[in-house]
Structures are given as structure tokens and as C-alpha cells.
Structure 1
Amino acid sequence: MHWRKIMHSLKTKLLLIFVLLSFLVSLLVGGMDFLHFKKNIDQNLRTSLSNTANFVEHTLPYNSFASYVKAIEEKSSTSMDYRNFMGQYAMDSGIAFLYLVTQDGDKVPTIEISNFMEEEQLIFWESPAKEALLSLAENKIYYSEPYTDEYGSFISIYKPLATSDGIPAVIGVDLDVSYVKSLQKESIIGFMISMLIGVGISILLSFFFASSITKPLSSLDKELRHLAESDADLTIRIHSKSKNEIGKVAESFNAFATKLQDLVIQIKIAIDDTDSIKIAISDSSDQTSLEIDKISDNLDGIREQLEILDNSLSENTAVIEEVTQNIESVDQQIISQSAMVEQSTAAITQMMASLSSVNMVAQNKKTATRALWEVAKEGKERIDQTASSFKSVVEYFGQIQDMTKTINAIASQTNLLSMNAAIEAAHAGDSGKGFAVVAEEIRKLADSAGTTSKSIATLIKTITDSVMNTEKQVTATSTAFAQINEEVSDTLDAFSEIEQSVSELNSGGQQILESTNQINSVTVSIKEGSREIQTGTQSMLDSAIRIKEASGAVTTRMAASVKAASDIQVSKKTMIDLTKKMNTIIENLKEQFSQFKTG
């Protein structure tokens, strides 16, 4: 229980919070420093590798992989001096290996630039680094990630070399990073030590700050306990010399206690004043009760007279309403009769208008039918003339056919003569050649005339057939026009009969319209008289209803007044009971507030 109390104390919680915050801050700062240190080391390693590769590129006395290999194999003084020079440079710079790499099919030949490994011959890289292959393939600089093999821990750069023979080659530089890893381990150990020291210091500072916060709180807790254990003593105050927030809390509590003390004093004074008010309320309640009894008696008498008046108004209103209903029934019948008369008048007027329209249409159609009969008659005459003309045309075409037969016979005779002339010209020899030419032309002319005559004969036969067909159609049309004339004549007679019947109907409709107008005039007069009677009875009914409503309103208000008087009586009794309860409460308040010590 003692340890649990310690763990739940404010001082322990504040101490744990400060220690945790210090540990997190130390961890954050140390982690950031370590990452910055690692980033700087990586940047410096890449810079060193890049500078070495650039130095090799600018100092290499050969411009291709093959020329360098050849110089090494021949052990030229230039290549040996350069290897020794680069070996010394590698030792001074911390470089492990310097070499050239190329690719020959599936093989990766390589040769050392420096004399660090004392290798003076071409070797083939069995498991080449992927960065070296990418640099050869893409002609770009590639850095490898740190790696470890049987020689140690290294990081490498592969930089393309500009060759004169076009065969790609790269410069490889391996840097030993074993020393760098040892530095990283030492930095981690230093970081852990510094963090532990920082945590220890933070624990001491946290203990000091927690004590400075909890000590005034403990003092304030003692003062509040003393105030709680005292017997309603409002004169007790908290004494605190602290000027921080805890001291302000103590000052605020003292100010609250002072205001509470003044409030209790005012409540005691108010309780003493309520005794005199209680006596005055008791006397006023008795006088009010007597006056309310008188008002109740007067209201009962007025309510009885209003009930009598209300019954009389109800009887008169019922009689007026019955008369009004009878008048409304008569008025409704008159309105119905007037509506039917108006509908009949409108129907007759419309019927007469329709008859007039029918009569006009019949006259127009009769005129149009007569004109149609005349046109049909004229058409038949012209068709007959056309048929006669077609017969003349047929006769003319017969004469033309005879002419074409004559022309055809003449062409045959001419052709025969031309043949005889040609025979005679042939008998005549050279002297008859001119006559033979003329005879040939005559024969051709005869053939042409015969052909044309046959074409004309064929065309005339076709035209003759068409004309004969047309003559038949004209004859049929003439027969149709004769039938049309008969139908039009019958239609003309029918329109004459319709015109006579419509005239008789129009005369009868005019007489019916005059009768309905007289009935309508009488109905309007009756309707106006009924409306005046209805207006008078409605005014009487409205007056009676208003009087009844006024009487009902007065009755309702009288009932409300009676109820209000009754409610006042109840309220009076309730007020007396509440006054008694208030007396009891005031006595209790006096007893309770007398326990507070205010001075």
C-alpha cells in the first residue's frame, strides 16, 4: 500500500514525465546527429571515389584497354612507372584497388592499374559486380553499396573511360571502409554514453522541479484540510507565501471565502426581515377571502339571467333558420328553372343558326351542283367532238399508209432500174464507168428510200393503234360523262328539297324562341323577388346569431370569472399552506445559518 501510494502521488508522476521527456529528447537529438554523421561519411566516401576515378582518367597514359594491356605485357617503362606511381597514390589515399574492366562476349577481362596486388597480367572476373556491367552497358557512373569479401569491407565506383578504339572500358576503384565502420561503432558507443549521462542529469533536474511543484501543493492541501475539519468557520484563511500559480489559487480561495462570508451575513438579515412580511401576508389573505366570496355571489345571479336570454335567442334563431332554408329551396328551384330556360333558348338559337348555316350550304351546293352539271354537259360535248376528230385522224393515217406503199413500190422500181443500169454499164466497159457510178448512187438512194418508207409504215401503224385505243377511251369517257350528268341532275333536285325543308324548320324555331324568351323574362322577375326575401331573412339570421354569440361570449366570460374566483379561493388556501411551510423553512434557515461563524 505504501508503494502504491508513492506511485500514485503527483510528485512521482511528474518525475516520470520529466525523465521520459528527457530520454525522448536525448534519443531524438542523438539519432539526428548519428544520421547526419553517417550521411557526411557516405558523401565523403563517394567524393573520394569520384576524385580518384577522375585522377586516373586524366593521368592514364593509354587511351584504350588493349593498349594498356599490351604495354603491361611488354613491361614498358611508362607502364611500370605509372603502376608504381598509382600504387603510392593508392596507399596515400586509402584506396585498396585500382583496375580497368572491359567486356568480351561472356567474359569480363580486368587488369590492375596500381602495383598494390603486384598483378601484372590480364585476368578474367568470374563474378563481376553488377554495377561494373551496368556501367559498361549504359556508359554511366555507378556506385556500389558497401560489401564485405575475403579481403575486407569495401565500396566501389565504376566510371566509363573514353577509348580510341570504341571498345567500352571502365575504371574501377575500391575503397576500404573498415576504418569507417569502426568509426561508426565508436560514434554509436559515444552516443549511448552521452544519452545515459543526459538521462541521469535529467533525473536529478526532474526531481528538483517536481519537488518545487509538489511542495507548495502539499502546503495548500494541509490548509484546505484544516478548513474542512473546522465547524463552519468562514473566518479561516489560507496562508501562502508562494507567488506562482499555487499562490494565486490560495488568493482566489480566500477571496471566495470572503464573498461567501458576506453572503451568509446578508442571508441572515433577509431571514430576520421575513418575519414582518409573513404577518402582513396573513392579514391581507383574510381580507381578500371576504371580498372574493361577495364577487362569487354576484356572478352566480348574472349567470342565471344570461342562461334565460340564451334559451330565448336559440328558439328565435331556429325559426329564422327554418324560414331561410325554405326560401333558399324556392330560390334554388327558380334558379334551376331559369338555367333550363336559358339552356333551351341557347339550344334553339344554336339550332336556328345551324339551320341557317345548312340552308346557306344547301344553296351554295345547289349552285355548285348546277355549275357542275353545265360543266359535265359541256365536257360530254367536247368529248364527242374529240371522238369525231379522232376518226378523221384515223382516216388521214390510212391515206398516209397508202402513200408509204406507193413510195415503197417506187423505191423497188428504182432499185431494179439501178441494177439494170449497172449491168449495162458493165457491158459498156470503160466508157460506162461514169454511168455505173451514177447507177450505184441511184441504187443507194432507192435502198434508203425503201428503208425510210418501211420505218414510216411501222411508225404509222403504231400511231394508228394508239389512236384507235384513244378513241375507245374517249368513247368510254363520253359514256361516263353521260352518267355523271344524270347523277348531278338528281343531286340538284335533292338540294332543292333540302332548301325547302330547312326554310320550314327555321320558321318553327323562330316561334319557339319567342316563347322561351317570354318564359325567361318571367323567371328573372321571380328570381329577383326571391333574392330580396332571402337577403332580408339572412340579415335577421345574422343579427340573431351575433346576439347569440355575444350572449355566449358573456356567459363564457362569466364562467371564467366564476372559475377564476374559485381558483383564487384555492390559491388563497394554497398560499396559507405555503406561508406555514415558509415559516418552517425560515426557522430551519435560522437554525442552519446560525452555525456559520462570520465574525
Structure 2
Amino acid sequence: MKRRKTMTVRIVSLAGIIFLAMTALLLGVIFPGHYRETLRTIRSSLFHEIQKESYSVYGTIFAPVEILTEQYAAIINELGFEDLETLERISRTQIAARDLIVGGGYWLEYYTIPDEKFFGPFWYKEGDDILLTWEYSNEENDHTQFDWYRNDGIATNQTVVWSDLYEDAVTGVPMITATSALMQGRDKTGVVTIDIGLEELTDYFSRIEIDLISDYTLTLLSREGEAIISSDTSRTGTRPFARGPEEGQEALFEEGNALVVYAPIASTGLVIALDTPLWHLTVPVTRSLARGILLALGVLAGSILLLGFVMNRRISSPIKKTVQLLQEISLGAGDLTQRIESTSNDELSEMATHFNETLKKVQSLVVGVKTQSRVLQSTGDDLAANMEESSAAVQQASSTLQEIKAKTCDQASNVEETTSTMKEITRTISALKDRIDEQAASVTQSSSAVEEMLANISSVTANLGKNAENVNMLTQASEKGRNDLSSVAEQIRKVSKDSEGLIKISSVIGDIARQTNLLSMNAAIEAAHAGESGAGFAVVAQEIRNLAESSAKQAKMISSELKKIKESVALSVGATEEVLLQFSDIDQRIQTVSEREASIRNAMDEQSAGSQEILRAIGLLNEITSQVQSGAVEIMSGSTEVIQESQRLGDVTLEVTQGIESVALGAQEITRAVQTARELSNTTKETILALNQELEKFKVE
């Protein structure tokens, strides 16, 4: 026999399952999810902090130098290379503008200066002095072969381009160079350069601090991933990371046991890299989450134990009493007078009350069943006697129904013959009606066609009348157009004379623009001599020059357009005279069209009179056809009614026959049912006796 589990064991098992499920939920879902989200937040904050430092480095060091380089190139493009002394003063001013600049100059293509293949003056700082050298203007140090000269930004449409870190051959100073191309139209004439020293960049880089973490290393990488500056000096000159800072690479990644963050410094090609050990991020998060989980598990375990104790006291004991009482009823003498005692005021007490009520109702039910079983036994005897009498009556009714069925079949045969004859007559009448309908449709169609033709003739006649009016109006409009065109030709000749004066005014505007351009160039040179104090005036001078150049271009464009207008006016005068000749030809053709329309209108009037006679004859024929068609419809309707009545009579006869057959089958079913009822009556009698014996086993009093 299978061993049963007690309620206490089940409650303890349920509490254990709940504890294990909650533990699995904490360790398998909540802890990993919170752990990943916390690490993601820390990584994102770290990435944004490094990006902010990257923007700060660019804005403080590189952006001002880019602006100086761009201005340097714009001034030289503006002044050209005729006044070399002015160019030298401007170059020294640009190099002295900021402390972190260590050198700079301009470098030209071969023979940009006549008879000078190499021309590249370079100024560099030495203490407080700015010295000039021509070391790059010779065959040995051909500046056109250096990367900082070739990488001029023209192909990539960049105004300023930064080089990689290198050691200058003249000064021996490690530096990074900003290059901007010199252009004459679309042709490159050279480049200007401004150099930043590594010492100043290192000093700024050493002051960067990251507040989010304490254990980290900051490194400044070149385009190839080589460490230029690092808070870990052993990395300088090496490739500290396997993944380079190429475009398209992920900016935040794990390498070995460290987290690495890349932040490019704008378009300089340099990258700020931060790396920190992974454990430095994960250990504090893991410890915090572990303390929270242990506390939650402790509270959960205490709650489950308390719940199990209460459930065992409040649920298990009453259920044991109920099971004991049911065992006594089912295995004992069947005493239905017993009841469960309950003194509490909860759901279990309510269950005991309902259980007692159920036992009371079962007791009453057993008493009622005993009484009714005795009544059923008496009724079964009476039912068996009635079944014998019903069987004889059903046999007599079945014989009578067979005779009625034979007579009904003869009547159905006669109705079918009558219906077939009437259908043949109806088909003949229907064929005649179809021919009459075809004739009526043809007459109606002919009448419609004649009416439509009459309508078309009337419409054509009306249109011809309107066309005559339009031709007269067209003649008047042609005459007016010829007069207006003559007036327009005269106005065009006046415009041609006025445009000659505008061309002279445009020439004067061009002369004023050239004088203004020369004035703005002189102002730009004076602003360059003034240095930083003249920077604002240089901008104004540049704007004046731009305005003068724009005015000169517009004056040339206006002069060109006025010449085109004068030529177009001359062509328009010739075209106007040609159009006047064409107007005369149009007048003659309009008169010819008017005469032809009058002939067509007379022919349409004769056609309309003949069509009216045809329409009256077709109307008389249509009336006669309608009378014949109405007679055929009446005959067809009468034949259809006769056929329908015959079909209804046949249907009624068929229904009577089917009804008789159904009744006969029903009589047979009744006979079988009576026999079955007789057998069931005997079986019921035996069942009632067995039921009485079982009911006597229950104690109800």
C-alpha cells in the first residue's frame, strides 16, 4: 500500500520549495540583471567622462592653433609673395601668439618664387627669441617630400590637417604639426605650418583627473596606436593595446583583465585612452549586491518558517478530525447521525459547518430514497400490465395505414401526367413570347437610334451657329492682335535704346568695385602689421574686399545680361514683323471657314426633316408590337398558374405518402419500445429490491 504524506510534511515541503524558488530567482535573475545594469552604468559614465576630457583638450590646445593656421594661410593667399618682409612679420606674429607653439612657416611649390626651386622659411622659438632657418629649402631636406607637406587636406576637403608626432631635424624638439594648404584658384602653391611642442602637451595631459575611479592609467595614442604620453612612463614609445584606434572600432572594450576606453581628439588623429583593471569595477558591485541578497534570504527564510508553523496549527489539526469522521462513516456502520465539533471562527470552522449540513442533507436524502423506492416498485407492476394492452392496439393501427398508402400512390401517378402536359403547352407559349420580345426590342432600338440621330443633327446645327459667331469674333480678335503687336514692336525699340544707357552704368559700378578691392587689400596689410590688436580690423577689411569682389562679379554679370537683352530685343523686332504678315494670312483663311460652315448648316436642316418622318412610322409599329406582347404575357401567366397548382397537388400527395410511411415506421418503433419497456420494467423491479437492501445498511435515526 502506498504510504500517505501527512499535511505537516506537505506544508514543510511547500515552504522549502518557496524558499528554493525565491533563492533561485534572486541568484539567477535579479542579481545578474542588477549586476549587469550597474556595470553598464559605470562604463557609460566612464566613457562620457573621457569624451568630455577629449573635448576639453581639443578646445584648449588644438582648436586655437587650427584657427591661427587657417588665418595664416588666408593672409598669405590674400597678399601673395611679392612683399616677403610683410610675410615675415606676419609669420613671427602667428608663432608668438601662444606659448605652446614652438615653430612654423610657409613652404612653396617649386619655382613659385621665380628662380627659386626651394622656398620654405621656418621660424622656431629658442628661449624668448624667434629664429629663422632655411634648412628645409635644399636638395637634402626637400620639404615637398615630408608627410606634413603632402598631407595638405585638399583631397579630403579639410582646412587644417594634423601630422603624427615626430622629432624636428633642426630643433630636435618632439612636435605635432598643423598644416593648411595655400591655393591660387584650384592650384596648390604650398602650405603653412604651425608646430606644437610635446613638452607643453605633456604638462596639460598630466593635470587631467578622473573622479569616477581611483586606479586607472591615461595614455595619449597616435594614429598607429603608439603611446606618446602616459601616466605609466614605461608605456611611452610602445603599443600598449592590441586594438588600434582606427575609425569604426568600438570605443569601449575589454582587453585581457582590463577595461579600455578610447576618446579621439576631434580630427587631430590623436586618441586619449583610459584603462583600468576589471576587478576594480566589479568587486565593489559584487560585494554590495551579495550583502543585499543575504539579507533578503534571511528575511525570506524567517517568514517562511513562521508561515509553516501557523499553517500547521490552524489547518492540519481540523483536517485530521474530518478525515477520522469520514473513515468511521465509510468503513464502520454507516452512521449518518455523527457531526464535527468546531469552536473557532475561521474558514476551517465554516468548512466544518458546511460539512455537517452536507451530512444532514445526505441523511434526509437516504430517508427519501427509501420511501420513493417502495413507490417505484408499485408503479413498475402497473406499467408492465399497460404495456401488454398498448402492443395489441399498435398492431391494429399498422394494418390500416398500409391500405391508405396504396390509394395515395395511385393519386400521385395521375397528378404527374397532368403536370407534364401543362409544361409542354407552357414551353410552346414561352418560345412565342421570346420571338415577340425580340421584335419589340428591335423596334425600340431603331426608335432610339433615330431619336439619337435627330438629337445629334440638332446639336451639330447649334454648334455650327456658335462656330459662325466664333469665326466673327476670331476675325475681330485677329485685327486687334495685329494692332497690339504693332504697338509692342514700337515699345521694344524704345527698350533697346534704354538698355545702352544701363550698360554704361554697369561699367561705372565695375570700376568702383576694383577701387574698393585695392583699398581693402591695403587695410588687410595694415591689420597684419598691427598684430593681435588689428585682428578685428582685418576681419572688417576682409568683408569689405568680399563685398567689392561680389559687386564686381555682379557688374560683369549685369553688363553681360544687358547685352543679351539688346540682342534679344533686335530679334523680337524682326519676329514681330513676321507675325504681322501671318495675321493677314489668318484673316483670309477665317473667311473661307465661314463660307464652308454655312453650306454644312443647310444640309443638316434637310437631314432633320427626313428623320422626323421615319420616327413617326417606327412609333406606330412599336404600339402594335406592345399589344401582341401583352397578350402573350397573359397566356404565359395562366399556364404557369396551372402548372404550379398541379405541382402543389403532387407535393401534397407526396407529403401524405411520406407521412403514412413515417406513421407506419413509428408504429413499428412503438411496438419495439413497448417490448423494451416491458423488459426495463422487470429490470427496474429487481434494481429497486437491491436498492432497498443497500439503504437498510445506513443508520438515519
Higher-helix-fraction structure:
1
The structure with the largest alpha-carbon Rg is 1
TM bucket (normalised to shorter chain) is: 0.3 to 0.5
TM-score, scaled to structure 2: 0.36
